[in-house]
Structure 1
Amino acid sequence: MSNTPGQQIQDLALEEVMGDRFGRYSKYIIQERALPDARDGLKPVQRRILFAMNEEGNTAEKGFRKSAKTVGNVIGNYHPHGDTSVYDAMVRMSQDWKVRNVLIEMHGNNGSVDGDPAAAMRYTEARLAPIAAELLRDIEKETVDFVPNFDDTSSEPTVLPARFPNLLVNGSTGISAGYATDIPPHNLSEIIDAVIKRLDAPDCDLSALLKIVKGPDFPTGGIIQGADGIRKAYETGKGRVVVRSKTAIEDIRGGRKQITVYEIPYEVNKANLVKRIDELRLDKKIEGISEVRDETDRTGLRIAIELKKEANAEGVLNYLFKNTDLQVSYNFNMVAIFNKRPVLMGLIGLLDAYIAHQKEIITKRSEFDIRKARAREHILAGLMKALSILDEVIRLIRESKDKRDAKLNLQDRYDFSEKQAEAIVSLQLYRLTNTDITELKEEAKELQEKISRLEKILQNPGELIAVLKDELKEIKKKYKTARLTEIQAEIEEIKIDTEVLVASEDVVVSVTKEGYVKRTSMRSYSASNGQDLAMKDLDHPIFIEKLNTMDSLLMFTSRGNFIYRPVHELPEMRWKNLGDHISHLAGDLAQGEEIIAAKGISKFDDAHYFLFVTRNGMIKTSLISNYKPQRYSKSMMAIKLKADDELLSVDLIDQSEDVFLASKFGYGLRYAVSEVPDSGTRTAGVKAINLKSGDEVSGAVVISKEETKKLFLLTQRGSLKKMKLAEFEPISRAKRGLIMLRELKNSPHRVFRVFLAADDESLMIETDKEQFVEVELKNVRTADRYSNGSFVVDEALEGKPVDAWLEIPEIKEEPSETNS
């Protein structure tokens, strides 16, 4: 540290300085700004506002005064901060939708449940509400500690007497450094009864109190669900409940229904709620709502949600509960300043803190009153003594030179105390009557009784508790109100039936090999005039079907995963637009993982199964009902694969079919799918075919009983072969199968793809030279098992096949049967 004239410079580490300064700042905002005191339930700014208004005589029995005058008084005398913070605190204490019992009455615009701001403080007028007087009662009787204000010109209370449990009655919310608080409002009568119960039975447990305090009582009413959450909150200080609007489903004109909302959850902005519901209607996120109106007026809150004629009112209401602030979660976090420290407190802790404060208030008040009573008793004794020797006293006063001399003479001659002498010389002549002596005696008697009563309170804890209970009962009688919020023990699970929320509409769903997905309206598809699906170069469609918005789409990947989406949740785009990439629907796909199949499902029943075949020769069947998840934000396992395996094909079956497997080396095996045991989603399946070393499955097709299509094999050399299914009699699972190609010494043919197709279909082949070869299958001759087919791709000119697929026929205009 170096010293220069008139200056001191300290060399300190930045970490120390920042830590010290922030620590002081944090302590200040925790103790002196954002958190309420456990005793009176007030933050410093609220306490200063109420105290300042009381000091100025701005009370309930007098007229209103400009709010700006109160704000200026508070800032000038007690709270050296911005006027906005003071006025905002003042306004909040006057808002009957924020506090259960308003502490300030305000004339003019004091905001609204729609979130509108209050008028400027120069326009509004305010005064203390009658119940606020109970918070300040007896403050003049030295019941609470006072400290100097910020500039030492006056003093302010550190806490208010708080003759009712304001913290629980009006609640509190605030955020400070490292601490936040959320204490809900409660019903005054219930909280006072709980205090009395705690006074009568200091050892009572939470269960006894919960019979009295049912739960929070929000000024906005509503329904609280979750008795367990309430109990946990009252036990630990933290807990969660669900707060739901009070609604009714009403019949209106033309046989239509209307959802009417009468009460909304606490601290929900009504205007934003109405706007959100209307946005859901406009964005068609929900079908069935025809109009949303805010019909709130001076008679009370009312939101009308008019429904379309065929709409399911219960379904719409459940959707709104889940997706709007018609239902919200409320999280208790009951932190208050107790013994100058922030403490997370349960119901018993808060009640005990209040009771301890009230015992202290009554004790200090009684001590003050007893001092005043004894001082007055002393004066009365002097006056009565003086009246008994009135002539002598008058003579002595007349003989005295002045008031001071008269006082001294009275003290010397008749042994009066200084205060008694002062009272005698200040006595007015008209008081020297017989009537007055009687009044003095009666007053002295009353004082004796008062002193005796106060001494009992100070000496006997039972008397003190009786006084406290009487005063609380009086406040309850004067200010009690009926409970506004209904309590329901269980949190109702919201079940949303998609069918009543989504418009039933036929759409065209398309999925491409590279993973682009979309749904297109039939109108847009028809307007394309046969134009091909919009795709990137070298991409091709693997699924184009007409589905209903009520249906679901499942997309299976090469790594054995599947992605589930209701059709109505797929991105809606025009036919000429590309679509959304699958990574937008499930961002957790691995590098190189691609879509190999897509299936549209209208009903997840127990009569249909998925059949899976993998490249390494595993096969599995699983009920489609296993593949309808509750949550589907990510991809899920369809079949368990080894690291070097991949999913080759997925088919929808009813287990009456056969499956045909083709291996790369040219073996074909057919057997009934009923031979494959059914299993769940996270299983690997069973062995499908007996493979030679180095062999693998090239493809699998499902053969129904009435199958009329032919079997097509495409080899890696570009040769295509057509065979009759009768060439392959069903054998049994896990055999090697029959040879389908003639073995060559040089450049032998290997099976690249296998298809079931009709003669009127076309096959598209992509080569490694990025050429596309279209083959009309009617031009391919049928061959026996021992031939290698006919070349359809010229290796020298076009290259080797790298992909092949059957062209998807155009969707007919007429309605088609819904997928199963």
Structure 2
Amino acid sequence: MSQTERYLDLPLEDVIGDRFGRYSKYIIQERALPDARDGLKPVQRRILYAMYRDGNIADKPFRKSAKTVGNVIGNYHPHGDSSVYDAMIRMSQEWKVRNLLVDMHGNNGSIDGDPPAAMRYTEARLSKISSELLRDIDKETVDYIPNFDDSEDEPVVLPAMFPNLLVNGSTGISAGYATDIPPHHLEEVIEGVIMQMEKPSTTLEELMSVIKGPDFPTGGIVQGIDGIKQAYRTGKGKVIVRAKTEVEELRGGRQQITITEIPYEVVKANLVKKMDELRFDKKVDGIAEVRDDTDRTGLRIVVELKKEADAKAILHYLLKNTDLQVTYNFNMVAIHKKTPKLMGLQPLIQAYIEHQKDVATRRAQFDLRKATDRQHIVKGLIKAISILDEVIATIRSSKDKKDAKENLMSKYQFSDAQAEAIVTLQLYRLTNTDITTLEEEAAELERRIHELEAILGSEKKLISVIKKGLQSVKKQFKDARRTVIRDEIEELKINMDVLVASEDVMVTVTEEGYVKRTSIRSYTASNGEPPGMKEGDRLLDRIEVNTTETLLLFTRLGSYLYVPVHQLPDIRWKDNGQHIANLVSLDRNDSILAAMTVKDFSDQESLLFVTKNGMAKRSQLSLYQAQRFSKPLMALKLKGDDEVISVMRTNGQQELFIATHQGYGLWFDEEEVSLVGQRAAGVKAINLKEDDRVVDAISIVPGEKVDLFIVTHRGAVKKMSLTEFEKSSRAKRGLVMLRELKTNPHRVIGCKKVTRTTVIEVVTAKDHLEMINPYNYRNSDRYSNGSFAVDTAQAGVVKEVRQYLKEPTEQ
């Protein structure tokens, strides 16, 4: 064969597809999912079988865990020792497994997520109930397959004398499949199995009168009977698992919340840490201390409350914002007939029943074979004793054992097996009393054979044998239910006003989206210095506000972010804020345009939006109060490439002035923009020329004396009175506010309403900043182009105009 012929030329996708297909089939069937019959994954089954084979059982002394792990790796499971030890540890953890399969001495971890001691330090043995999983395995009740190196055989499945999959549950992730089967109460599941076995037409409702729902080792309260019913019907469903809590009265009128049971699979230390963080970050007011008082008598977490704190509101807040309450999603996937299958309660029970019928049948066949074989021997022994002298004479006259057997078989018609039993018989058995013992044994065997044949001949008798076995397990291992089942899911209503500490703070928002709240003390100590910001960022707004209020941030693309002030990070004045995306996700292409704080979302006030393409929209402020605010909410609907230019908070009785890039100004009453819903698009505010756009919009109180300050791209500025314009109506073109030039006409970049404290900041194309005080300029008329204030030849054309209110210290 030449060198080149040894290589196959195959497309990569075929090779990868084939190899991954094989790999995923392996991890689905042979690693991550439990078998529907015995409820075990291969590694768990191999651990239990190895311990059983080694005599490491419940009534024998404990053995080093490392010995078991070595046996499992060496004989059955050629994987890492940690994967085997981890599986062994889990089967011994009483907060993970409802009925322990492994008893362990030493540190096997804790509910706080502490790691177990190394396997050289711990000792283990099979638990008593594990023996029920392995009972009668030596009676050929299950199939065996060769292990990985063909040196010995291992069981495909365990006989499982109780329905372990439902009792202990299972969790795992494989390729394309995951499983989450919760633990259940042993007594209930066994009664359910018996009910379905005796009456195959049993309905799910009848079954659920016995099997109430999950029974977690950590107790707790399960809410949502509908979710349980759906899971039992389809294999998938959702329930709420809640901690067991109690509000206790202390002396002096104080209260504390005591937690004695926590949801399944929740790490206690993390839960306590999270609750303490909420206290420390002042996310909720009224918690004095959170401490873990767990000791050998049981789990106990105490949340001490301050005087006058609302215990129920705080408890609801903790349930909603920590793992005191979690959602458990049933996903009952198991390997059934070598295939992963999503199974409801009845198919799972049926799979177990079929397995038990098979086990019981094979056990009966094995026992029958043994009994028949023994009966044959006993008959031979009885016959031999009845002609004992002749038999002894025959044996004495024979040359050797083989000759003796042949002589017995030819002279007295004994079978090979009977002859073997006779020649190996010990002399002391040849007493007079022995014949009666043999006759009693023969009668007992006859009765046993009839019984076994009856079991094999009747389905009803087979079921009664299985039932008897299950009832014996139930009697031996029954205990009280730990988890309480509630039909309804309690809705958690949280009144944040009660829970938030009322405190006046200074909130800052920057153009790049950094936000923070600062104590008034830290702000005052800054002596009027600007807040900490990233280089190149600038302050968008600075607002003194109470923590019980809400911050609304409006974006250019028509969204708004709803942020309760108490949720803003508490950061010193001179330190940088935190990006808003840490609190509410924000589209990467979007940016914050305006900020405002709201104490009361009333119907009397409205929000007025004006967009670049000349649309205006007005909606009641009350529509912007949100219940869920983890992502941006729609403030108004924008069409095409439009974006928001201005957001104003008004009483609906004000006037609106709109300025455009090409130098038009339109002044009209705000009530011409009628109220619409939160998600609406609005109406045309100004009739724009082609290529024109809105640059600014100003809200004006009727009768107010207003001066406007205009800045053009060529660096010219001019101040003019609003009265230069005539009040008009919506959707008109407006009046010019600059003299039109044939060449290089001025284009408006900003039009601001000026007050005594206004400072105008002009930003040019080359990032040159120019601060202008409008009070240094006299008023002009509509037809002038003002005077040049910025040297655009040096600094580049004006690209942005910003308006500042002077700090009190600057005035």
Q: TM-score, normalised by structure 2?
A: 0.86
What percentage of aligned pairs have identical amino acids?
A: 57
The question of whether the paired residues in 2 share the 8 Å contact of 1:546 and 1:811 is answered with no
Are 2:623 and 1:649 equivalent residues in the alignment?
Answer: no
* 1: CA distance, partners of 2:206 / 2:176: 34
**Cα distance, 1:234 vs structure 2:** 2.9
**Cα distance, 1:219 vs structure 2:** 1.3
Secondary structure of the equivalent of 1:439?
A: helix
Deviation larger for 294-303 or 552-561: 552-561
Q: Which residue of 1 aligns with 2:604?
A: 607
Provide closer, same or farther for how the CA distance between residues 2 and 335 of structure 1 changes in structure 2, counting only shifts above 3 A: farther
Q: Where does the alignment leave 5 or more consecutive residues of structure 2 unmatched? A: none
1:469-488 aligned at under 5 Å gives the runs 469-488=467-486
**Which residue of 135, 138, 141 maps to 2:136?**
138
1:538-577 aligned at under 5 Å gives the runs 543-577=541-575
The question of whether the paired residues in 1 share the 8 Å contact of 2:754 and 2:774 is answered with no
- The code of the aligned residue for 1:766 comes to V
* 2: CA distance, partners of 1:308 / 1:249: 13
Provide closer, same or farther for how the CA distance between residues 312 and 430 of structure 1 changes in structure 2, counting only shifts above 3 A: same
**Cα distance, 1:166 vs structure 2:** 1.5
Q: Which residue of 2 aligns with 1:766?
A: 762
* 2: CA distance, partners of 1:435 / 1:404: 29
The question of whether the paired residues in 2 share the 8 Å contact of 1:749 and 1:788 is answered with no
**Which residue of 195, 214, 217 maps to 2:215?**
217
1:500-539 aligned at under 5 Å gives the runs 500-511=498-509, 517-532=515-530
Are 2:800 and 1:808 equivalent residues in the alignment?
Answer: no
Q: Which residue of 2 aligns with 1:684?
A: 681
Deviation larger for 276-285 or 191-200: 276-285
The question of whether the paired residues in 2 share the 8 Å contact of 1:544 and 1:808 is answered with no
**Cα distance, 1:526 vs structure 2:** 1.0
List per-residue Cα deviations over 1:179-238 (Å, max 9, x = no partner).
443332221112212211221222334333333222222212222333343333333333
Q: Which residue of 1 aligns with 2:106?
A: 108
**Cα distance, 1:73 vs structure 2:** 3.5
1:666-745 aligned at under 5 Å gives the runs 669-671=667-669, 673-688=670-685, 700-704=697-701, 709-712=705-708, 714=710, 717-722=716-721
The question of whether the paired residues in 1 share the 8 Å contact of 2:283 and 2:567 is answered with no
Secondary structure of the equivalent of 1:508?
A: strand
- The code of the aligned residue for 1:639 comes to L
The question of whether the paired residues in 1 share the 8 Å contact of 2:709 and 2:754 is answered with no
Q: Which residue of 2 aligns with 1:173?
A: 171
* 2: CA distance, partners of 1:559 / 1:76: 64
**Cα distance, 1:461 vs structure 2:** 1.3
Provide closer, same or farther for how the CA distance between residues 74 and 711 of structure 1 changes in structure 2, counting only shifts above 3 A: closer
Provide closer, same or farther for how the CA distance between residues 114 and 530 of structure 1 changes in structure 2, counting only shifts above 3 A: closer
Provide closer, same or farther for how the CA distance between residues 478 and 720 of structure 1 changes in structure 2, counting only shifts above 3 A: same
Q: Which residue of 2 aligns with 1:816?
A: none
**Cα distance, 1:455 vs structure 2:** 0.9
* 1: CA distance, partners of 2:125 / 2:406: 49
Secondary structure of the equivalent of 1:504?
A: coil
Provide closer, same or farther for how the CA distance between residues 241 and 688 of structure 1 changes in structure 2, counting only shifts above 3 A: same
List per-residue Cα deviations over 1:480-515 (Å, max 9, x = no partner).
122212223344444444334443221222345676
**Cα distance, 1:434 vs structure 2:** 5.4
- The code of the aligned residue for 2:48 comes to L
* 1: CA distance, partners of 2:536 / 2:347: 71
* 1: CA distance, partners of 2:68 / 2:792: 94
The question of whether the paired residues in 2 share the 8 Å contact of 1:225 and 1:487 is answered with yes
Secondary structure of the equivalent of 1:718?
A: strand
Secondary structure of the equivalent of 2:128?
A: coil
* 1: CA distance, partners of 2:638 / 2:148: 73
**Cα distance, 1:574 vs structure 2:** 4.0
Q: Which residue of 2 aligns with 1:320?
A: 318
The question of whether the paired residues in 1 share the 8 Å contact of 2:356 and 2:466 is answered with yes
Provide closer, same or farther for how the CA distance between residues 236 and 411 of structure 1 changes in structure 2, counting only shifts above 3 A: same
1:264-279 aligned at under 5 Å gives the runs 264-279=262-277
1:122-133 aligned at under 5 Å gives the runs 122-133=120-131
Provide closer, same or farther for how the CA distance between residues 106 and 690 of structure 1 changes in structure 2, counting only shifts above 3 A: closer
Secondary structure of the equivalent of 2:760?
A: strand
The question of whether the paired residues in 2 share the 8 Å contact of 1:258 and 1:307 is answered with yes
Deviation larger for 242-251 or 314-323: 314-323
Q: TM-score, normalised by structure 1?
A: 0.85
* 2: CA distance, partners of 1:321 / 1:108: 34
**Cα distance, 1:525 vs structure 2:** 1.9
- The code of the aligned residue for 2:82 comes to T
The question of whether the paired residues in 1 share the 8 Å contact of 2:709 and 2:774 is answered with no
Deviation larger for 637-646 or 786-795: 786-795
**Cα distance, 1:623 vs structure 2:** 0.7
Provide closer, same or farther for how the CA distance between residues 567 and 437 of structure 1 changes in structure 2, counting only shifts above 3 A: same
The question of whether the paired residues in 2 share the 8 Å contact of 1:384 and 1:440 is answered with yes
Secondary structure of the equivalent of 1:413?
A: helix
Q: Which residue of 2 aligns with 1:456?
A: 454
**Which residue of 615, 626, 629 maps to 1:629?**
626
**Which residue of 372, 375, 389 maps to 2:373?**
375
**Cα distance, 1:565 vs structure 2:** 2.5
The question of whether the paired residues in 2 share the 8 Å contact of 1:665 and 1:695 is answered with no
* 1: CA distance, partners of 2:554 / 2:123: 68
Secondary structure of the equivalent of 1:475?
A: helix
Aligned residues: 799
**Cα distance, 1:12 vs structure 2:** 5.7
* 2: CA distance, partners of 1:511 / 1:69: 63
Are 2:380 and 1:385 equivalent residues in the alignment?
Answer: no
List per-residue Cα deviations over 1:91-128 (Å, max 9, x = no partner).
22222222211122222222222223333333333222
CA RMSD of aligned residues (A): 4.0
The question of whether the paired residues in 1 share the 8 Å contact of 2:384 and 2:422 is answered with yes
Q: Which residue of 2 aligns with 1:188?
A: 186
The question of whether the paired residues in 1 share the 8 Å contact of 2:721 and 2:779 is answered with yes
The question of whether the paired residues in 1 share the 8 Å contact of 2:657 and 2:668 is answered with yes
**Which residue of 287, 292, 295 maps to 1:294?**
292
**Cα distance, 1:388 vs structure 2:** 3.7
**Which residue of 57, 60, 84 maps to 1:59?**
57
Q: Where does the alignment leave 5 or more consecutive residues of structure 1 unmatched? A: 813-820
* 1: CA distance, partners of 2:417 / 2:613: 112
